[in-house]
Amino acid sequence: MISPSKRTNQVSQTEDRRPKTEDGSSKKRLSSADRPPAAGRADLPRPLCGIIPPMVTPLRDRDTLDEAGLERLLEHILAGGVHGLFILGTTGEAPSLSYRLRQELIERTCRQVNGRLPVLVGITDTAFVESVRIAGMAAEAGAAAVVLAPPYYFAASQKELLEYLGHLVPQLPLPLFLYNAPTHTKVVYEVETVRRAAELPAIVGLKDSSANMIYFQRLLTQFRDRSDFTLLVGPEELLGECTLLGGCGGVSGGANLYPQLYVQLYEAARSRDLDRLAVLQQQIMRISNGIYCLGSSGSSYLRGLKCALSILGICDDFLAEPFQRFEPPERALVAQALRGVGLLDGPEAQPCRSKP
């Protein structure tokens, strides 16, 4: 039996493990009483069509949001005419962020968006209870839906995935989009698994980041009679092709940077304006080749995207560890690519950068 004094000591030790700021002070997790009231919640269209940018998470250091940068980024994205917003995904560096910071991002984003469009929140986690908890935060803040990739690290079988979803979905307060990201999770949501999972009414769609066009076309065939089920593509280089084939749109990272371009390409594909689509596709490939492909590391996409946003004066380019921002030579190449797509004239526009 634990004595009261030992219990008190254990509580003190637990409190000492709270997340710390860069200066060593504790960061308290907001209680329900301290949280701001929920923002307006946008209705979730069925299906959800268009451009849903996977927003980057502007950071000042390892556990501090770039608050001013977040505000600028949100207004920049929304001004581009996008149709939704996805936070805490791969582009948002979610697995590398503390739970405290994730909560703050959810609350700040939903409060600023305030129902202007649907906000989707990533809840992927290795811990079942944390996925449920983040979903609760999202619902309370005013998000419209949540997004889930398979739990990473231990690779689950398809049978185990279905059992997992059968246990998890009834505990979620919001509709759920599946997220197929096999390069990051080591697991594919196979087409038959998606079909069976979609029998659960709360599962309303899927984002596919596999870059496997055969897989995506099989999904389109499987759900051809489900006009309410959303199928979105992740790799923006495939946005036009997937939309022409009947996909609902894209979760395009470049829409953080140049949202109007991706909206225009989506609209050209929907209207089957192939000449305009070809011109816009060239712009998207310039961004892909000139900004995402600098270096050979898996972080090149994120480093390039955040660097570009910093050069444009939108938000800081600090990345969650273990990744580091680009050095001046790479930064110069990103600036050159921005000039090539018409986003930058002359030198950097009041670059946003925290101290190293």
Active site members: 179, 207
Strand, helix or coil for residue 248: coil
- Phi, psi for 57 (deg, rounded to 5): -100, 105
β-pairing, 203-208 with 119-122? unpaired
Q: Are 38 and 115 in contact (CB under 8 A)?
A: no
In 3D, which of 250, 249, 241, 248 has the Cα closest to residue 272? 241
Cβ burial 48-77 (10 Å sphere, 16+ → b, else e): bbbbbbbbbbbbbebbbbbeebbebbbebb
Angle between helices 67-79 and 99-113 (to 10 degrees): 40
Strand, helix or coil for residue 85: strand
β-pairing, 64-65 with 59-61? antiparallel
Structure tokens at 58: 């502007």
Number of CB atoms found within 10 A of residue 205's CB:
26
HSE (CB half, 13 Å, CA atoms) of 309?
34
Number of CB atoms found within 10 A of residue 296's CB:
6
CA–CA dist 119, 42 (Å, integer): 8
The radius of gyration computed from the CA coordinates of the chain, to the nearest angstrom, equals: 21
Number of CB atoms found within 10 A of residue 189's CB:
26
Structure tokens at 84: 């939704």
